[in-house]
């Protein structure tokens, strides 16, 4: 059975899900996304990934600064849609819109709720070294990510997973689960389960101040943060007033002073064990493997990166 849908999303994570719905028998009547933003100072405005994909798919796009207006309320109320699907949209849906009768609001969330409610569930799951994460299809209520879920599926977090890799896995899974969810709802067999409030954890937004490396924690925790914050904002250290981002690293069983460069291959001492930096990026420059980087930029054995 085909349904009319409004899709709300902004980031790359939402793109495969939008494509999956558009290729199904369902009809996307409109897409909501965040307004275009300046990429950097003095440059042109840049449309969101979902905006660009919607143009390719020839779907009407709306990008209000906020949803709390009569225009948006009236548009949604008169749209005739049965479902509104929200994926990494970046705005809170006002209660007035949630109260519009005969519309089911669904959110595709990148965690196994109630773990990691909030803005950065993928990053937090990696940083906290979770073994599994997953996708939850849930009904939207006024409280953030607190609605009952109708479907969940686990994904194993592999040692080599960073934000980009895990995000793609979860997005692809979400693109499949949403079609199954819509089918269950259409066939009136969907069952919603309330979240256990005793097991809630929050994935707070990533702050830039979290990006500077802290050598005084175990190497495994530094590796987890490098993976969780790759590619943005990334984990970095300062050397001779230069900001240098660590792209990839591995834990090694080597001892040394905290923050000390232990060899000519850029192995650095941590609270427990050390990390060997495999690829690196000086601010404003290209990503290089460490050997290539060190041919043009000297960081000597025995230096302290603190």
| Separation of alpha carbons 116 and 130, rounded Å | 11
Q: What was the pLDDT predicted at 126? A: 98
Q: What was the pLDDT predicted at 1? A: 77
List, for residues 270-300, the tens digit of each pLDDT value: 999 999 999 999 999 999 999 999 999 999 9
- E strands, the chain, are 4-9, 27-32, 37-38, 45-46, 61-62, 83-87, 104-109, 117-118, 132-139, 149-156, 202-203, 235-239, 242-252, 267-269, 274-282, 288-289
Q: Other CB atoms closer than 10 Å to residue 144's CB: what's the count? A: 12
Torsion of CA 112, 123, 177, 57, to 10 degrees: 160
**Nearest-CA neighbor of 266 among 255, 253, 280?**
280
| Rounded average pLDDT over 231-242 | 95
List, for residues 15-33, the tens digit of each pLDDT value: 999 999 999 999 999 999 9
- For 220, phi then psi, to 5°, come to -60, -35
| Separation of alpha carbons 14 and 200, rounded Å | 24
Instruction: Give the distance between the most distant pair of CA atoms in the chain.
Output: 68
* Residue 222 pLDDT greater than 90, yes or no: yes
| Separation of alpha carbons 115 and 145, rounded Å | 10
Q: Other CB atoms closer than 10 Å to residue 263's CB: what's the count? A: 14
The pTM of this model reads 0.95
The angle subtended at Cα 255 by Cα 251 and Cα 261, nearest 5°, is 80
Using DSSP, state whether 69 is helix, strand or coil: coil
List, for residues 179-199, the tens digit of each pLDDT value: 999 999 999 999 999 999 999
> Between 128 and 1, whose confidence is greater?
128
* Residue 40 pLDDT greater than 70, yes or no: no
- For 101, phi then psi, to 5°, come to -70, 155
Reported confidence tier of residue 41, pLDDT bands at 50, 70, 90: low
What domains are there in the chain, each with its CATH number? Answer: 4-203 (3.40.50.170), 209-296 (3.10.25.10)
Reported confidence tier of residue 202, pLDDT bands at 50, 70, 90: very high
Q: What was the pLDDT predicted at 42? A: 62
Q: Which residues contact 162 (CB under 8 A, 6 or more apart)?
A: 126, 226, 227, 228, 230, 231
- Dihedral (CA of 215, 217, 219, 222) sign: negative
Q: What was the pLDDT predicted at 144? A: 95
| Rounded average pLDDT over 88-103 | 97
């Amino acid at each position: 059975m085909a349904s009319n849908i409004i899709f709300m999303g902004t980031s790359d994570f939402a793109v495969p899900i939008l494509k999956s719905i558009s290729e199904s028998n369902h009809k996307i009547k409109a897409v909501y996304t965040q307004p275009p933003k300046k990429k950097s100072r003095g440059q042109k405005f840049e449309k969101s990934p979902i905006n660009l994909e919607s143009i390719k798919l020839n779907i009407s796009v709306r990008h209000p600064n906020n949803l709390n207006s009569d225009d948006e309320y009236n548009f949604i109320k008169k749209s005739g849609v049965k479902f509104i699907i929200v994926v990494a949209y970046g705005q809170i849906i006002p209660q007035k819109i949630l109260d519009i009768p005969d519309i089911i609001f669904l959110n595709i969330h990148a965690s196994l709720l109630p773990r990691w409610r909030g803005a950065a569930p993928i990053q937090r799951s990696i940083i906290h070294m979770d073994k599994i994460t997953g996708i939850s299809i849930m009904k939207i209520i006024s409280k953030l990510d607190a609605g009952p879920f109708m479907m969940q599926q686990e994904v194993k977090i592999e040692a080599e997973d960073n934000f980009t890799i895990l995000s793609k896995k979860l997005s692809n899974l979400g693109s499949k689960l949403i079609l199954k969810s819509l089918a269950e709802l259409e066939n009136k067999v969907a069952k919603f389960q309330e979240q256990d409030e005793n097991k809630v954890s929050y994935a707070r937004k990533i702050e830039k101040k979290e990006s500077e490396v802290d050598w005084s924690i175990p190497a495994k925790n530094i590796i987890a943060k490098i993976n969780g914050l790759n590619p943005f904002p990334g984990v970095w250290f300062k050397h001779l007033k230069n900001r240098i981002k660590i792209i990839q690293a591995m834990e090694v069983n080597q001892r040394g002073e905290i923050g000390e460069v232990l060899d000519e291959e850029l192995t650095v001492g941590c609270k427990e064990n050390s990390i060997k930096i495999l690829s690196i990026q000086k601010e404003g420059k290209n990503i290089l493997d460490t050997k290539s980087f060190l041919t043009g930029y000297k960081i000597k054995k025995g230096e302290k990166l603190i």
